[in-house]
Structure 1
Amino acid sequence: MPDIDAANAQILTLLQNDGRMTNAKLSETIGMSETPCWRRLKRLEEDGFIDGYQANLNRRKLGLGVMAFVQLRCSEHDQTATAEFQRIVEVTPNILACHNTTGADDFLLIVVARDLDDYSVFVDTTLRRLPGVTSIRSNLSLKEMKASSKLPIILPANPMA
């Protein structure tokens, strides 16, 4: 696995800001010739630092005006129920994220819907039918103040400093 040195950190940061940046522009921006820059980029991809590339879409332009943070509590935690729960979550496009959490609830989901009526139908037809769900608590986003999937790139501490 390559070290995340300053050059790799720059590559990762620049690509998070513009995933369509060409290798020529990338190498020019970081002050490196194209071949070594391309090799670093390919290595970062091969080693899994870069999972893929995608366009960031505007959910409101797509008619998805409601975003809900949903806390679920489950009574069943056996392997079969958990596998079925995970399968349903993975194939449901309205669920943007699902985290198994600590605390009173078992899962935290981020869900989008067209409007409150659409969200209500989603709760009834999808969330209430998930295996073992005993409690559903929804918090609706009133204002999205920050939305990002960009990760901070933290360089390892320099032991020689």
Structure 2
Amino acid sequence: MSKIPEGSELDEMDRALLRLLQADGTLSSSALAERLSLTVTPCWRRRKRLEDLGVIRDYQANLDRRKLGFGVLAFAQIGFGVHAGDDPDNFEKTILALPEVLSCHKVTGSADYVLTILAADLESYGRFVENVLRRQPGLATIQSSLALREIKAETRVPV
């Protein structure tokens, strides 16, 4: 993702608006305007501008995974034997379609990718590893780590 185009820098009002929306994405333009001491139209314009610039990508609700039956949060480090060819690209395409994979990052170091994966329990995570990850062409290593306790899980960007 590229930076904000020159001449489109964020001012403190934009940053305040972003902090409010990260805390509560359901805020209406009138509620935002009231909290920012603006009128509704300028507030809506700021919000729309931030959306158009891609600073605001989307809106979502943050769900409690445990209450929805996902008791296991796993981190899988994936390594490929050969980095050339189509295998890594095909792997990325496959991962994009898997709802259990919350995030996938191409990284430096001993692994090529780090995935964050949800599963109902250890048995279902094991099935995911066997039936999905191990069947990916070119994959050489999978190293899993399981979250024992979640200390911080934040999606908010400091603005």
TM-score of the pair, normalised by structure 2: 0.93
Q: Structure 2 unaligned segments of length 5 or more: list them.
A: none
Aligned to 1:26: 32
Instruction: Give the number of aligned pairs.
Output: 153
Q: Does 1:118 align with 2:118?
A: no
Moved over 4 A (4+): none
The 8 Å contact of residues 74 and 132 in structure 1, kept in 2 or not, is answered as: yes
Aligned to 2:152: 146
Q: Does 1:14 align with 2:20?
A: yes
Q: Does 1:88 align with 2:94?
A: yes
Aligned to 1:99: 105
Give me the whole-angstrom Cα distance separating, in 2, the residues matched to 1:40 and 1:3. 12
Aligned-pair distance for 1:70? 0.8
The 8 Å contact of residues 80 and 88 in structure 2, kept in 1 or not, is answered as: no
| 1:49-60 equivalences in 2 (<5 Å) | 49-60=55-66
Q: Structure 1 unaligned segments of length 5 or more: list them.
A: 154-161
Give me the whole-angstrom Cα distance separating, in 1, the residues matched to 2:37 and 2:88. 49
Aligned to 1:109: 115
SS state at 2:86 partner: helix
Give me the whole-angstrom Cα distance separating, in 1, the residues matched to 2:62 and 2:82. 36
Indicate the larger mover: 80-89 or 93-102: 80-89
Aligned-pair distance for 1:79? 4.3
Aligned to 1:62: 68
TM-score of the pair, normalised by structure 1: 0.92
Give me the whole-angstrom Cα distance separating, in 2, the residues matched to 1:116 and 1:92. 18
Identity of aligned residues (%): 42
